[in-house]
Amino acid sequence: MSIVNITHGDDLDGLTCGALLKKLFNANIVLANYDTIEDVLKNIPETTTQLFITDINLRDALICHLKKICLKTKITIIDHHPMTQLFKVEMRECNIDVHHDTRDCASALVYNLFRHRLEHNASRIAAYAAISDMFEDGPIASIILDHMDRKFVQHQAFILTHALGASQSEEFKIRVINDLSTYAYPHRIKDAVELACSQLEKIVKIKDLVPKKATKLGRLAYMEGNDELSTGEVANIVMDTLGIDVGMCYKINDGMADLSLRGERRLIEHLGEIAFKLADNCGGFGGGHNRAAGAKIPADSIKQFIQDLSEELKPWVPFP
């Protein structure tokens, strides 16, 4: 019997889903992101009896691959990204289990689904993800966190968040999954603290660049990123440094622009819905959460995307 978990490899929520499923079923973990998910789905071994897909925003274009896999393999999707109605209906028709809730992080959903089979320590793994993914107020996460030494668990979560920002190496990510699955404390995971500190230094260096490099447009500010940090991280730094409502960062590679959007805590607009719509308009794809979203679009559409985005963000006074 072979159990596989395809999980989002770019952030802590995805990795903690992997750690929980490894703990539960000794699942083989396959890391994926929005660039690789299609190839990963095409290459699932036929011997797989159960496939879990966690923390990945599965776009409608991937339905055909899931339909093929489910002929031989039981599929369970556990996710918190917005999902189209079409996707849900298609999954139901193929007998694919979907555990979906946009109010908690994916790891909290995995924990909740299997909590009767997990020890108390496993709740810490879900808590790290909730903190890192900014889903601390979710219905499941808030109950877990209310019983915890919050400062301790927050510090542990952010060591991992920042360490993963500094190192996207497969070796480090797999180490994080393996160590978390045995309930290791993050500050004891090899290299984690050193990597986290190096990431904090990188953030400070980018902060110094933002006033010169970022462009403000209404409630939005954007800048082009470099190889130092992820676009999500830089988008956050842009928002933080300039005190604006939405920060954006993009990188251009092979004729495509990868971009991230980050919004302030009380943002009324839904950045995931905006990214979905605007990316679709220019022949790309996008999506995400209220305050954290991303898209991949043809590079020559980037100016139009920025213009349209600034128009979506209506003038707004925070203290009426």
CB atoms within 10 A of CB 49: 11
Contact track, Mn ion, 9-48, x by CB under 5 A: ----x-----------------------------------
Which of 16, 19, 55, 214 is in the footprint of Mn ion by CB under 5 A? 55
Q: Find tokens 């404390």 and name the residue.
A: 185
Selected range binding Mn ion among 56-64, 100-108, 215-223, 224-232, rule: CB under 5 A: 100-108
* Smallest separation (angstroms) from Mn ion to the CB of 138: 11
DSSP-derived letter for residue 101 is -
Selected range binding Mn ion among 131-139, 185-193, 195-203, 290-298, rule: CB under 5 A: 131-139
| Beta carbons of 309 and 278 less than 8 angstroms apart | yes
Q: Which two tokens stand for residue 273?
A: 């819905």
Pairing of strands 220-224, 215-217: antiparallel
229-288 residues near Mn ion, rule: CB under 5 A:
none
Binding flag, residue 104, Mn ion (CB under 5 A): no
* Smallest separation (angstroms) from Mn ion to the CB of 100: 12
Distance CA 128, CA 320 (A): 36
**Nearest to Mn ion by Cβ — which residue?**
13
| Number of residues engaging Mn ion in binding (CB under 5 A) | 4
Residue 231 vs 241, nearer CB to Mn ion: 231
Residue positions counted in the chain: 320
Selected range binding Mn ion among 33-41, 127-135, 175-183, 246-254, rule: CB under 5 A: 127-135
DSSP-derived letter for residue 166 is H
154: Cβ–Cβ under 8 A, 6 or more apart, which residues? 131
Which of 10, 104, 133, 312 is in the footprint of Mn ion by CB under 5 A? 133
Distance CA 261, CA 220 (A): 10
List interacting residues with Mn ion (CB under 5 A). Answer: 13, 55, 106, 133
